[in-house]
Structure 1
Amino acid sequence: MRTIAFLLFLGLLLPGPVSGQEEVEIGEQELRDLLHNKIRVVQHLALNPALLRDARRQNTTKLDLNEIKKRDEEWKNSDDLTHFKRSLQDNVSGRLLKRIVSSNPDFNEAFLTDDQGANVAAYPATSDYWQGDEEKWSESFNGGEGRLFLGPLERDASTDTYAVQISAPIFDGPETIGVLVVGVTLDYLSEKRGAR
């Protein structure tokens, strides 16, 4: 069993007072158990026709990888909510993801990518445009085979929160055409673990 070590501050998942930093190990199965309901929500959301349609539409443009990397650099070099970043919040999928994140305090972000890992929609704006070079995308896209992937608990730079990212493939029939990534907050994990 793979063990995921979490570095938590102020004992956020531990009962009782703890000072400084504590390392808490949560096995992969315990993490899956804690996230069971959220995994189901994300898998169901990955079936949404709007997400499928927008991923499919972007895939038909066949963006060149050099263009994707250029957009990624421009994205990372601006902390502002540029017109391009806003367009990924204002498209149909972006508005859907905004409603999901805004109405669920357990989620800190949600974004949809195409079959190359380029963002199709995102709320709030991610720290970079291209996810294709990151484990959360490559493990879920899985060479086109698509599979669920749970990332480690880590600080998310774009939202300045600790979260676990659930990555679910977007299927068009048998073909994986994108990945949906949703961040689940540390507060949710803490509450679920404390209730056990």
Structure 2
Amino acid sequence: MATDAHVAPMQDFANSTVKTWVADADLVAAIKAQNEKHAGLSQADIDAMDQKWRAETSASSQPMINEVLGHAVSQYLKKKKDESGGLVTEVFVMDSKGLNVAQSDVTSDYWQGDEGKWQKTFLAGPDAMFIDEVEEDESTQTFQSQMSMSIVDPASGEVIGAITVGMNVEAFL
């Protein structure tokens, strides 16, 4: 498999499909509400939230995870994933701090702000897109990559968050 053969098809999918997802008024409103709610968080607060999330991923009680997965926008993202016919493996949206706002599936961590998927999109401006390397998913035995892009408030043109879409690369090739 050519190392970059996945890039152009993923860019095309992002431009033709994911851009319509991130224009959804409810999704934009959810990001803006969380940005306002999290405006005063310190890095220590963020780290504590992330540690709580990570602990919940293997716990029987998951109030923080259930709250995020219960959002209507999470259900919207899950529906988009399900409608992709196996092309999309996961979808999650992050706020201005890199914290999860909504997601189709449970992520291993809550804070994405220390990773390229957030740093190379949210911090890079309104037209930023980042396509990560292809990796083999041990659980599904498929090759996957993540496409991330900035989310812009259509009213102000300001970058308010980012989206990451995991994709089954083999479905493109």
TM-score (norm. length: structure 2):
0.84
Q: Tell me: CA distance 1:155–1:89, structure 2 relative to 1, closer, same or farther (3 Å).
A: farther
Over residues 10-29 of structure 1, what are the superposed CA-to-partner deviations in whole Å (9 max), with x where a residue is unaligned?
Answer: xxxxxxxxxxxxxx4423xx
1:44 to 13, 20, 27: 20
For residue 65 of structure 1, report the CA deviation from its aligned partner. 2.5
Query: Given residue 47 of structure 1, which amino acid in structure 2 is its aligned partner?
Result: A
Over residues 75-110 of structure 1, what are the superposed CA-to-partner deviations in whole Å (9 max), with x where a residue is unaligned?
Answer: 122324711111111112111111111222211111
The secondary structure found in structure 2 opposite 1:72 is helix
Q: Tell me, yes or no, if the aligned pair for 2:125 and 2:150 is still in contact at 8 Å.
A: no
Cα distance in 2, alignment partners of residues 142 and 53 from structure 1? 20
User: Paired residue for 1:33?
Assistant: 8
Tell whether 2:42 aligns with 1:64: yes
Q: Tell me: CA distance 1:67–1:142, structure 2 relative to 1, closer, same or farther (3 Å).
A: same
For residue 159 of structure 1, report the CA deviation from its aligned partner. 7.7
1:169 to 150, 158, 163: 150
Large movers: runs of 4+ above 6 Å? 157-160
Percent identity of the aligned residues? 27
User: Paired residue for 1:16?
Assistant: none
For residue 164 of structure 1, report the CA deviation from its aligned partner. 1.1
For residue 36 of structure 1, report the CA deviation from its aligned partner. 4.3
Q: Tell me: CA distance 1:159–1:56, structure 2 relative to 1, closer, same or farther (3 Å).
A: farther
Over residues 115-173 of structure 1, what are the superposed CA-to-partner deviations in whole Å (9 max), with x where a residue is unaligned?
Answer: 11000111201010000000011101134555111111124689885421111211012
Cα distance in 2, alignment partners of residues 48 and 132 from structure 1? 23
Query: Given residue 154 of structure 1, which amino acid in structure 2 is its aligned partner?
Result: E
Q: Tell me, yes or no, if the aligned pair for 1:110 and 1:181 is still in contact at 8 Å.
A: yes
User: Paired residue for 2:165?
Assistant: 182
Tell whether 2:77 aligns with 1:77: no
Tell whether 2:34 aligns with 1:54: no
Query: Given residue 103 of structure 1, which amino acid in structure 2 is its aligned partner?
Result: E
Cα distance in 1, alignment partners of residues 52 and 3 from structure 2? 37
Give the CA RMSD over aligned residues: 2.3
Q: Tell me, yes or no, if the aligned pair for 2:6 and 2:169 is still in contact at 8 Å.
A: no
Q: Tell me: CA distance 1:117–1:50, structure 2 relative to 1, closer, same or farther (3 Å).
A: same
The structure whose Rg is larger is 1
Tell whether 2:90 aligns with 1:109: yes
Higher strand share: 1
Structure 2, unmatched stretches of 5+, are: none
Cα distance in 2, alignment partners of residues 130 and 180 from structure 1? 13
Cα distance in 2, alignment partners of residues 120 and 162 from structure 1? 26
Q: Tell me, yes or no, if the aligned pair for 1:42 and 1:166 is still in contact at 8 Å.
A: no
2:120 to 123, 134, 139: 139
The secondary structure found in structure 1 opposite 2:81 is helix
